[in-house]
């Protein structure tokens, strides 16, 4: 969508409004935002994301929950996505006045929104804190200078007589009173004194009957509620459906597994690998909250449906990434806990009957996975006729058991499986990135081994092609991994990579040499790692509990090779490294392997220091900068230190260097601001904004923005990173590099300037006596031999936080310096289409000009 009209109407020299080219985070749900704008006439700006812009309407009286009231909505120019974060004063020019954010959330519509607007009627749903439910935008037939619409609430379970002014908080009411300059705004100020009302909610369940139903079930057991993630029951793959009436058969829904925990009324949504999805699917969150349950565990599948009601995985992915706005449905198929009762030993048929009673006559965005009993062949034939993915068959008397017990099995219309990507072939013709991906599956005869399974070159969209190319082509080699066997001898010009990406592929059986026949890509599985494939759904059912008990607990393996290096072995992989978070040494190794392509550019061939915690992060750790006996993959270089003496330092040569240090207990990686080729000059300036314990995060954010502004004024582009601790790093690349003393003096001058200009906010000394309630602008990391935490490095602290590069535009959404962790950072990287620090190595800037500008300002 064009933003030329938006740009034409504004002078960005005087306006604080975001420019149209401001970068915004990618890969999120399509959002809506409503802003309260105190311009010459107070109004509400109603905005819906469509594509890369916000379609916008000015609603003078604000939205109303009353379906009988039509609110005028005047269409205005499209706004950039960054405007969704805008609050504050528009000081001069077009739209002068104060802007508050009234509401924000995601939205959905069944169909093409632009096509609906063209026809003059857009039907949609809102999932915000204040605005919820279904709404309409209907084009007015009146001829106006600007296109006019009516914003109307649909007559659904949220409908009421609540008005927008009644939903304002104290901040918005105060802004309204301050802005009361004209007759219209004085009237609005008077109206803003109306009593505060909460947004309407759907009618909640009557729980008494449900509790009695749960209590009366055979094998129901009284148990305390838990908000913790529970491991899901999993299916085993079969080629034919089981026979007999002791099996029921459900549709195999093509979506994402979602597990729900409710404790003390607080809802949490989890992916199957224990990642929180609350913010990803607020529509489902609201639907579950509307049940009004105090405690429960629910199991189901998140889907988007096509026009025939079939689950559409492609539509689901597009909706979750913001490319589409399809309504989502949470299809529930089990309830292992409800209102104080553990139902995991209750027969499946009884659990499903209770689940059906709980859902009643239907709840928007919640659905029951219905079933048939017996006649498995007929159920499979119906699935094939309707082009469904397949069926899931379950024993009717089975309890709910974590893992693959054999009580749940799946039968697919097409064979399909997940594979690790171990390489690619070069592109041909007009194809870009690669020709096909080379696939492997775990070798059952070697714990650390992989078996070549073939290649896949079809089924890619432009987006998945670009995403896969970015993930696999960065660190390619002509040599296949040593632990990969069964390679197709006909392969030519193959490029091999460390397994990091998992793909799901449909195929029609196995051909010669056990290679896939007619494979086609289904999706990139960003939620899985190659290590997950070793827990296969094709494994035979576990032995009965009695037999397993006789054998005793299985002993954990003593060693596990990190997939992809083929060289470094991680011993004692089960050793707990972060005790408070039950994170093991293997988890740490898997983390570094999974983010290796992001980590290496900031580490390769830079002098290196590490923090080793051989007994775990909560026991004594060691800061080490010189090599020790036993390191064979780590590079060494003799360097002069700041005081003139020489010493041998470590540096990372490649991924094997990193993994060898991880094997030796390394958690943190710290680097010099230079390379081993040019150790006498620095190519980075690092400002560490280190707050005292009582300093609020908002002050650290403000300090980073102030520092960026000052650096901009003297001609220096800067980059931002969370430290994984309390603060932020502002990093300035230098090209050409500058002598160490010049860099240190410059950094000290900037720190001293900040401390002098704002003595109540900043100090430039490390003295604890002077740092109370202030931010230390630490410039000392710019001395020769000093280090700073590397981007994407873990920290040896509770929660396993990660030092994370950010775009400046993301800063307002970050709540603390340790916001990203070992668990959440890989998910963030899977969403990103480019490195937040992309281009840092190509920035051309020197300190000479900057210092002259700094002297002018002094």
Strands 341-342 and 366-368: unpaired
Whose CA is closest to 433, among 461, 459, 467? 467
CA 117: distance to chain centroid?
31
- The yes-or-no answer on residue 96 being catalytic is no
Tell me how far apart the 2 most distant CA atoms of the chain are, in Å.
Answer: 87
Q: How far apart are CA 771 and CA 695, in angstroms?
A: 10
Q: What would you report as the CA-atom Rg of the chain, rounded to the nearest whole angstrom?
A: 30
Q: How many CA atoms lie within 13 A of 841 on its CB side?
A: 7
β-bridge mates for residue 393, sequence order: 249, 409
DSSP letters spanning 244-313? STTEEEEE---SEEEEEEEETTEEEEEETTS-B-TTT-HHHHHHHHTT--SSEEEEEEEEEB-TTS-B-H
Q: How far apart are CA 365 and CA 284, in angstroms?
A: 6
DSSP letters spanning 178-237? HT--SHHHHHHHHHTTSPP-PPP-PPPP-HHHHHHHHHHSTT-EE-----S--PPB--EE
Q: How far apart are CA 433 and CA 458, in angstroms?
A: 14
End-to-end CA distance of the chain: 45
User: Is cis: bond before 736, omega within 30 of 0?
Assistant: yes
H or E segment and range at residue 320: helix 313-320
How many residues are listed for the chain in this entry?
A: 858
Whose CA is closest to 364, among 584, 201, 527, 533? 201
Contact in structure between 330 and 321 (CB atoms under 8 Å)? no
Contact in structure between 572 and 662 (CB atoms under 8 Å)? no
Contact in structure between 240 and 251 (CB atoms under 8 Å)? no
Strands 408-412 and 236-238: parallel
Q: How far apart are CA 676 and CA 646, in angstroms?
A: 14
Whose CA is closest to 38, among 89, 108, 111, 80? 89
Q: Determine how many CB atoms are found less than 10 A away from the CB of residue 838.
A: 13
Tell me the Ramachandran region of residue 93: left when phi exceeds 0, alpha when psi lies from -120 to 50, beta otherwise.
Answer: left
**Where are any strands of DSSP class E within 538-619?**
559-561, 569-571, 576-578, 583-584, 607-612
H-helix segments, 576-632: 585-594, 596-599
For residue 719, CA distances in Å to 25, 83, 676, 852 come to 16, 22, 23, 22
Helices 655-663 and 585-594 meet at what angle, rounded to 10?
Answer: 170
Contact in structure between 32 and 53 (CB atoms under 8 Å)? no
DSSP code of residue 486? -
Write down the catalytic residue from 55, 61, 153, 252. 252
β-bridge mates for residue 410, sequence order: 237, 392
Task: Return all residues near 168 (Cβ < 8 A) that are at least 6 apart.
Answer: 36, 102, 176, 192, 196
Whose CA is closest to 44, among 19, 17, 30, 64? 64
Q: How far apart are CA 587 and CA 582, in angstroms?
A: 9
Q: How far apart are CA 260 and CA 283, in angstroms?
A: 14
Q: How many CA atoms lie within 13 A of 359 on its CB side?
A: 22
Q: Which residues are known catalytic residues?
A: 252
């Amino acid at each position: 969508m064009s933003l030329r009209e938006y740009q034409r109407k504004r002078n960005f020299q005087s306006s604080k409004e975001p420019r149209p080219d401001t970068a915004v985070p990618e890969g999120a749900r399509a959002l809506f935002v409503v802003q309260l704008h105190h311009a010459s006439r107070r109004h509400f700006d109603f905005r819906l994301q469509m594509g890369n812009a916000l379609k916008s309407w000015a609603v003078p009286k604000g939205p109303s929950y009353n379906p009988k009231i039509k609110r005028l909505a005047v269409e205005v120019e499209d706004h950039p996505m960054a405007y969704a974060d805008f609050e504050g004063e528009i000081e001069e020019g077009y739209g002068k006045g104060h802007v508050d954010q009234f509401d924000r959330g995601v939205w959905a519509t069944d169909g093409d929104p632009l096509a609906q607007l063209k026809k003059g009627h857009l039907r949609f749903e809102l999932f915000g804190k204040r605005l919820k439910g279904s709404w309409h935008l209907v084009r007015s037939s009146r001829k106006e200078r600007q296109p006019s619409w009516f914003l109307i609430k649909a007559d659904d379970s949220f409908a009421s007589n609540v008005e927008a002014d009644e939903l304002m908080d104290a901040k918005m009411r105060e802004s309204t009173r301050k802005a009361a300059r004209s007759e219209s705004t004085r009237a609005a100020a008077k109206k803003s004194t109306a009593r505060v009302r909460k947004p309407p909610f759907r009618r909640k369940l009557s729980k008494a009957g449900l509790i009695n139903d749960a209590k009366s079930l055979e094998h129901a057991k009284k148990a305390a509620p838990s908000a913790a993630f529970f491991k899901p029951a999993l299916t085993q793959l079969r080629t034919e459906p089981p026979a007999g009436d002791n099996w029921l058969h459900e549709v195999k829904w093509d979506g994402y597994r979602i597990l729900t925990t409710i404790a003390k009324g607080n809802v949490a949504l989890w992916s199957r690998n224990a990642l929180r999805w609350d913010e990803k699917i607020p529509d489902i969150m609201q639907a579950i909250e509307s049940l009004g349950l105090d405690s429960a565990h629910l199991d189901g599948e998140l889907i988007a449906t096509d026009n025939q009601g079939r689950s559409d995985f492609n539509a689901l992915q597009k909706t979750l990434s913001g490319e589409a706005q399809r309504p989502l449905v949470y299809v529930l198929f089990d309830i292992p806990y409800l209102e104080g009762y553990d139902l995991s030993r209750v027969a499946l048929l009884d659990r499903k009957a209770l689940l059906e009673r709980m859902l009643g006559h239907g709840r928007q965005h919640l659905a029951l996975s219905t079933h048939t009993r017996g006649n498995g062949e007929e159920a499979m034939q119906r699935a094939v006729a309707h082009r469904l993915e397949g069926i899931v068959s379950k024993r009717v008397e089975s309890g709910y058991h974590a893992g693959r017990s054999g009580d749940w099995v799946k039968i697919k219309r097409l064979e399909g499986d997940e594979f690790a990507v171990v390489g690619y072939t070069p592109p041909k013709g007009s194809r870009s990135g690669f020709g096909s991906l080379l696939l492997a599956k775990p070798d059952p005869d070697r714990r650390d081994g992989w078996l070549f399974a073939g290649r896949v070159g079809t089924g890619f969209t432009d987006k998945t092609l670009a995403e896969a190319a970015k993930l696999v082509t960065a660190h390619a080699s002509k040599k296949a991994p040593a632990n990969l066997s069964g390679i197709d001898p006909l392969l030519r010009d193959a490029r091999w990579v460390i397994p990091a990406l998992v793909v799901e592929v449909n195929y029609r059986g196995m051909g010669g040499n056990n290679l896939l026949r007619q494979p086609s890509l289904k999706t990139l599985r960003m939620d899985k790692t190659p290590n997950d494939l070793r827990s296969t759904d094709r494994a035979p059912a576990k032995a009965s509990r009695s037999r397993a008990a006789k054998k005793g607990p299985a002993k954990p393996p003593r060693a596990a090779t990190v997939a992809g290096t083929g060289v470094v072995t991680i011993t004692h992989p089960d050793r707990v490294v972060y005790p408070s978070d039950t994170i093991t040494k293997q988890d740490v190794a898997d983390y570094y392997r999974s983010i290796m392509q992001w980590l290496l550019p900031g580490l390769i061939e830079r002098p290196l220091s590490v923090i080793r915690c051989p007994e775990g992060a909560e026991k004594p750790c060691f800061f080490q900068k010189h090599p020790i006996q036993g390191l064979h993959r780590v590079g060494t270089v003799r360097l002069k230190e700041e005081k003139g003496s020489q010493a041998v330092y470590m540096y990372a040569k490649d991924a094997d260097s990193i993994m060898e240090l991880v094997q030796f207990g390394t958690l943190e990686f710290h680097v010099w601001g230079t390379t081993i080729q040019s150790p006498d000059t620095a190519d980075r300036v690092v400002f560490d904004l280190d707050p005292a314990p009582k300093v609020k995060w908002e002050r650290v954010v403000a300090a980073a923005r102030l520092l960026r502004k000052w650096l901009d004024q003297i001609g220096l582009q800067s980059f931002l990173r969370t430290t994984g601790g309390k603060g932020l790093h502002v990093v300035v690349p230098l090209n050409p590099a500058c002598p160490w003393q010049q860099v240190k003096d410059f950094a000290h001058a900037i720190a001293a300037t900040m401390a002098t200009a704002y003595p109540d906010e900043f100090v430039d000394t490390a003295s604890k006596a002077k740092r109370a309630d202030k931010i230390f602008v630490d410039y000392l990391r710019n001395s020769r031999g000093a280090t700073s935490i590397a981007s994407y490095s873990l920290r040896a602290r509770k929660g396993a936080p990660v030092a994370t590069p950010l775009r400046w535009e993301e800063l307002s959404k970050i709540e603390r310096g340790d916001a990203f962790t070992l668990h959440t950072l890989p998910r963030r990287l899977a969403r990103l289409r480019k490195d937040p620090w992309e281009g840092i190595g190509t920035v051309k800037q020197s300190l000479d000009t900057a210092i002259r500008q700094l002297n002018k300002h002094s």
